[in-house]
Amino acid sequence: SPQAVGSGIPEMKTILRGVVLKEYLTMKAFVAKVVALTAGLGSGIPVGKEGPFVHIASICAAVLSKFMSVFCGVYEPVPVLQMSTPLSPVAPHGDRAWAA
């Protein structure tokens, strides 16, 4: 994947400035970066880990945010008027309906 080349720090700075880089935060780039970083570190090649981990974490955040957008609206707050029911244990004037 051409998006997995390099550390990823300059591209992430560009994204944080507001420039849209299409296909940079994809699962294809994630798999390529993880496999290449694992193989490189496992073979003993002196590679920097911080830059690729920033890119990997950014891809995870982007994928999770896309996944969580599916659940948008699930946790909408219930209006206060709907929360009060006629079966509440408190009387309308604040007196306890259920005396001990």
Q: How do residues 69-84 score in pLDDT, each as one tens digit?
A: 777 766 666 666 555 5
pLDDT tens for 46-65 read 888 888 899 999 999 998 88
Distance CA(9)–CA(15), nearest Å, equals 10
Say if residue 99's pLDDT is above 80: no
Distance CA(15)–CA(38), nearest Å, equals 25
Q: Is residue 80 part of a domain?
A: no
Average pLDDT, stretch 31-52? 89
User: Would the pTM of this model clear 0.75, i.e. be above it?
Assistant: no
For 26, the domain range is 22-71
Q: Is residue 55 part of a domain?
A: yes
Q: Is residue 87 part of a domain?
A: no
Q: Is residue 92 part of a domain?
A: no
Distance CA(37)–CA(54), nearest Å, equals 12
